[in-house]
Each structure stands twice: as C-alpha cells, then as structure tokens.
Amino acid sequence: MVPLDPVPSPIDHVLRGEPDTIALVDRTGALDYTAAEETVARLAGWLAAQRVPPGTRVATWLPKTREACWMPLAAARAGLVHVPINPLLKRAQVAHILADSGAALLLTHAPRATTLEDGDLPDGCVLHVDVGQGDALPRSRADPDLLAALLYTSGSTGRPKGVMLSHANLWLGAISVAHYLALTPDDRVLGVLPLSFDYGQNQLLSTWAAGASVAPLDYLAPRDVVKAVERVGATTLAGVPPLWVQLLEAEWPEATAAQLRRLTNSGGALTPAFVRVLRARFPDARLFPMYGLTEAFRSTYLDPALVDEYPESIGRAIPFAEVLVVRPDGTRATTDEPGELVHAGPLVAQGYWQDAERTAARFRPAPSFARAGGTAVWSGDTVVEGADGLLRFVARADEMIKTAGNRVSPQEVEEAVTAGSETSEAVAIGVPDPRLGQAILVVARGDGSAEAGLRDRLKRDLPGFMQPAHFVWRAELPRNANGKLDRAALREELA
C-alpha cells in the first residue's frame, strides 16, 4: 500500500517508480520511468522556451496522446497552469474555455485545429499542432499551494467554470487514491476516462504515485476496451455507470475478465442489481464505489468488503478528506438525519477561476465542529450518515443533468437550442434512462415542424453527450409567479 505522505510536493514529483519499471504503455510502445522523467523534462523545456510568464495558462485539446498524458506534469514543471479541454467538446465550448482561462497557448492537433474559426482564439493565444522538445528542466521546487491546473466543469447554471487546483490538491489526491486502492508497482491501469475529468486525470497521477504503469486508451466501441484489457494486461479499470452498461453488454473471454483485480466507479450510483452483475462478470475484481465533486476532487469511497452488504452506500471519507453532514442551520446532523454533504481538508480546491460570486456560494468556511477548519466545499447534495458511519446519497440539490458520466448544464443546452431560428424558448431537464443514467429532454416552444433542422444544427454545435434525446413541443411554456420559466413544474411532470 502506498504510504500517506504527510507533506505534499510539486505535482511533477509524482513520477515515483523504479527507473526500469514501465510508466506508460500505448500502441506505439512503452516508456519506463527513466524515459518518462526525460520526456517530461524536455516537454517542460519546450514550454519554457515559449517565453510566457509564470502562471500562464496552457490549454490542451487532444486525444490521449503522450503529450496529453505528460502535460499535467510538464506544465507544472515549467511554472505554468494546465487547462485540459475535453476532446469531445466542439469549437464554441473550446472558445469559451480559452477566453475564460486567458490561455496563451493551445496545444491541439490538425483535425481539431481545422474546426476552429476566426475569433475562437483569444488575443495573444498561440496555436500549436506540433509540440517539440527543449532543454531538460529539473524537477520543480514550486510552493505546493501554487495554482497548477484549471479543470472546467459545468455548474447548475451558466457556462463551464474553471476549478482552481494547486500542486498540493493534485499531489494529495494522487497519494490518497493510490493508497486506498492499494495500487502496487505490478499494477497496470487502463485509462479509458477523459483526461479533462479529475477522475480521468487522477488515473495517471495515482498510478505514477504508486510506481505502476498506465495504458491510456481512446476507444470507439466496448469491444475495444475488452481487447485493450487483454492486450496490455490491465489489472485496474475505472468507469461510470453508463460505461459499465456498455461493457457488460460486450463479450468478455473468461481469462480476460479474470485479469482485472479492481474496478472503480464514480459519476453515478451503482444499483444493487448492477453490483450483482458486475460481481458475476468480474468475480476476481474488488469493486470500489466512489463519490466526488471536482471542487474537492473526491470525498468518499466504499470498502469493497462492504459493497455486497451496503450497495447503496457511498462509504466513508477518503484519506485527507473530512466529510461532514450539516443541517441548514450549520450544526451537525444526527444519525440518519438528512443534511448537506460538506467536504473540508486539504483536497478542497482554491475556488473558481475569476468568479468570486460563485466561489463565495460554494467555498465557505467549514462548520464550527469541523476538525480541519478553513474553507470547505458545500456540495449542495443531501446525504445521511448511518450509525455504522457509512454515508448514503439522498439527492442532488442543483439542476445538473448527469448523462453518460458527464455533468451537463441545462442552461448551456438551452442556449444552444435557442441560438437559431427554430425556437425562442426551451427548458432542458434530465429524465431517467437505463443506459445513460439520465437522458436530456428539451421542452421547447413551437409546433415541432423545425425539429429535424434543429437536430442537424445541434449535431454541429454540441458534443455528442450534450445532444437532446427527446423534444417535447408546446405552444406555451409554464411560468412561475416571477414570470420565469417554471422548471420545477416541467421536471415534476416529465421526469
């Protein structure tokens, strides 16, 4: 088991494997930790040669290339702030993130670069489709509290916002996960999640903190994942519920399924029935259900030994996290009393990038009874804690749509729907879906005659996971006493 380091280091120190142990393996070959260190050092040197000031934001909009995997470490070593952009996003979403972050560099590749239009790059932002090597930089001596990354996540309203993560946030998250998953140097983690997600990026960092190897994978079909598990000898696989649905529908050779020692899940709950199916398909794997939010990385995990008896539980706090259940008046909730999940401790992010209002709403002083003190993340999610100390998720207070493991802002979908001439008013809500968790349903004003054209436009303007699955057309949309569209009434009626 990886020891819990009491003092965080700059995140590029996370490469902790033995020199000749494989750090990364992909279709082009394998790199050991010696080669990985050299590659990170030279990529950091190339970034430094761009002569941008310390703290400058550098964005990556890439599939899981080697550059994409090394960039969280190389940017930090060069004194820059990494902004990974989900490769599934389209140019409009990318333009927003570039403008909001003030990125001075965008690293992408030709297929994506050609989709950008005039005005998508903010003034002063330089586009690079080829990344070179520079003089090797030594490991960083940065203050662990310095900003290292902006991870963009959708809020309950408005466009995606950048969560500010320090070296310490990333370092402690990596050590925490490597510790409670009990990763060892002979493990090989198959990285199928997007590197723009904290869950996906941590697969790299926690693997390297354990001195193990990671195999990043972009896949088109579930069978690609099955083949990759067999090809690279994967022992660990992380997913979200919709991905597990797809993987369970795939054909798994018995020997391939038996390779997996651990499965991890976040981004949505696993039902008891689903747990039973996973157990049957992967009988030798330990199952780790987890709960988290980008603003505090991750809050809880459930010990695999307890999954069968408590499949509905989200478990207990992960190392370095203090998780509290708080009443509306700020006092501690009693056993089995619903309350808001509040996360305190050193995993708490530094707030939202250049957004004091939303930072003040979510990042507030920890409750008076918290051990950690300081700033806490008030999640807005309702949980209860049982007499056994296990937490159970009750409800999400915001209006986020969780579809296929992605958090989608209803307002962002509504803005895209109403951007054309097809309709002037729309409300997006999440409705239960057995494969996606939630599907996006849009209620729009009109007679539906323009739906085909609207769908064609949205396919150009929005990534696949943000496409509405259903449209309901109405002559008028309901409004509340303040004259605003009545989302609650529509949700109650249709969800």
**330 found inside a domain:** yes
**Average confidence (pLDDT) over 401-423:** 87
For residue 5, is it within any domain? no
pLDDT over threshold 70, residue 154 = no
Specify whether the CB–CB gap between 211 and 18 falls below 8 A: yes
Query: At 481, is the pLDDT very low, low, confident or very high (cuts 50, 70, 90)?
Result: very low
More confident residue, 203 or 402: 203
* Judgement on whether residues 382 and 405 belong to the same structural domain of the protein: no
Find out whether 125 and 50 touch, Cβ atoms under 8 Å: no
Tell me if residue 318 falls in helix, strand or coil: coil
Q: What is the pLDDT at residue 158?
A: 59
CATH number for the domain that contains residue 127: 3.40.50.12780
pLDDT higher for 262 or 400? 262
Same domain, 103 and 47: yes
Alpha helices in 117-185 (DSSP H): 167-180
Q: Does the pLDDT of residue 168 top 70, yes or no? A: yes
294 lies in the same domain as 187: yes
The rounded distance, in Å, linking the Cα atoms of 60 and 131 is 11
Q: How many CA atoms lie within 13 A of 157 on its CB side?
A: 5
Distance, CA of 15 to CA of 395 (rounded, Å)? 38
Contact 11, 44 (CB under 8 A): no
Q: Are residues 71 and 200 in the same domain?
A: yes
Are 242 and 265 in a shared domain? yes
The reply to whether 385 and 443 lie within a common domain is no
pLDDT band (50, 70, 90) for residue 156: very low
- CB distance 205 to 172 below 8 Å: no
Q: Assess contact for 470 and 431: CB atoms under 8 A.
A: yes
Pairing state between β 313-317 and 300-301: antiparallel
The neighbouring-strand residues paired with 479 are: 485
Clarify whether residues 336 and 481 are in a common domain.
no
- Does any domain span residue 4? no
CA distance 326 to 340: 5
Q: Under a CB-based contact definition with an 8 Å cutoff, are residues 205 and 174 in contact?
A: yes
User: 264 and 245, same structural domain?
Assistant: yes
Q: Where are the beta strands (DSSP E) in 17-142?
A: 22-26, 29-32, 57-60, 81-84, 105-107, 126-128
Let me know if residue 2 belongs to a domain.
no
pLDDT in tens, 291-301: 999 999 999 99
Q: How far apart are CA 120 and CA 494, in angstroms?
A: 37
Following DSSP, what letter does each residue of 180-240 receive, concatenated?
Answer: HTT--TT-EEEE-S-TTSHHHHHHHHHHHHTT-EEEE---SSHHHHHHHHHHHT--EEEE-
- Domain of residue 288, residue span: 11-391
Q: CA triplet 353, 356, 361: central angle to 5 degrees?
A: 110
Question: Range with the lowest mean pLDDT among 239-253, 352-366, 462-476?
Answer: 239-253
Query: What pLDDT, on the 0 to 100 scale, is given for residue 449?
Result: 95
Q: By the 8 A CB rule, do 105 and 58 touch?
A: yes
pTM of the model: 0.88
More confident residue, 6 or 67: 67
> Is residue 317 in a domain?
yes
Last residue in a domain, options 364, 391, 418: 391
Q: Tell me: the pLDDT tens digits for 239-284?
A: 988 789 889 989 999 999 999 999 999 977 777 878 889 999 999 9
Q: Is residue 163 part of a domain?
A: yes
Q: φ and ψ at 104, to 5 degrees? A: -95, -15
pLDDT at 268: 76
Range of weakest confidence among 57-66, 134-143, 256-265, 306-315: 306-315
Contact 107, 67 (CB under 8 A): yes
440 or 268: which leads in pLDDT: 440
- The answer to whether 380 and 338 have CB atoms below 8 angstroms apart is no
Task: Write the DSSP assignment of 415-465 as a string of letters.
Answer: HHHTTSSS-S-EEEEEEEETTTEEEEEEEEES-STTHHHHHHHHHHHS-GG
What percent of the chain stands above pLDDT 70?
97
Asked if residue 99 and residue 49 are part of one domain, the reply reads: yes
The span from the CA of 340 to the CA of 365, in Å, is 14
Q: Which helix (H) or strand (E) holds 254?
A: helix 254-259
Tally of structural domains, the chain: 2
